Amino acid sequence: MPTFIKKSEIPASAEDVFRWHTRPQALNDLTPPWEPAELAHRTGGIEDIGSQVTLKVGHKPFRITWLAEHTACEPGRSFVDVQRKGPFAKWIHTHSMIPKDQNSCWLEDRIEYALPLAPLSEWLAGWYVRRKLERMFQYRHQVTREALQRKADL
């Protein structure tokens, strides 16, 4: 099963980065403008085990529902969401904030995923999925870094 990892240094404490991710607006802020995704429904926040987020992703008329459930949380350090319904056969996304010192941390996104109809789909489209994840998480880490440098919305 493929694993995607994006790790960046953020000039803020792990606690501040975690807190920034708990904001209701965080998911919208982290969604790249080129990705058609709309928040359809939310129950609870990232720290609430069992809370769910429902997104509508893709372009009309081919939009699909993506349902993710928060399955683990260590406040100030990490949270995990698991796809319950969506485009992947499997998707487990671990968001980690790893302290470097008092004023900086490593932000790590680790995604274990499987494409539907693997291994054929991995052979045909794996390169595309990896490229898309790299671009998306480059954007997400940049947005996070810039917001925390400005001390935005803490």
> % helix / strand / coil in the chain, to the nearest 5?
30, 40, 30
Per-residue pLDDT of the chain (154 residues; tens, 9 = 90+): 899 999 999 999 999 999 999 999 999 999 999 998 999 999 999 999 999 999 999 888 889 999 999 999 999 999 999 999 999 999 999 999 999 999 999 999 999 999 887 776 777 777 888 999 999 999 999 999 999 988 755 5
The token pair at 149 is 């440098």
Dihedral (CA of 9, 12, 17, 18) sign: positive
Q: CA-CA distance, 115 to 123, in Å (whole number)?
A: 10
**pTM for the whole structure:** 0.92
Could you name the CATH architecture of 3-150?
2-Layer Sandwich (3.30)
Instruction: Please state the domain extents for the chain.
Output: 3-150
Whose tokens are 């769910």? That residue is 52
> In which region does residue 76 sit, left (phi positive, over 0), alpha (psi from -120 to 50) or beta (all else)?
left
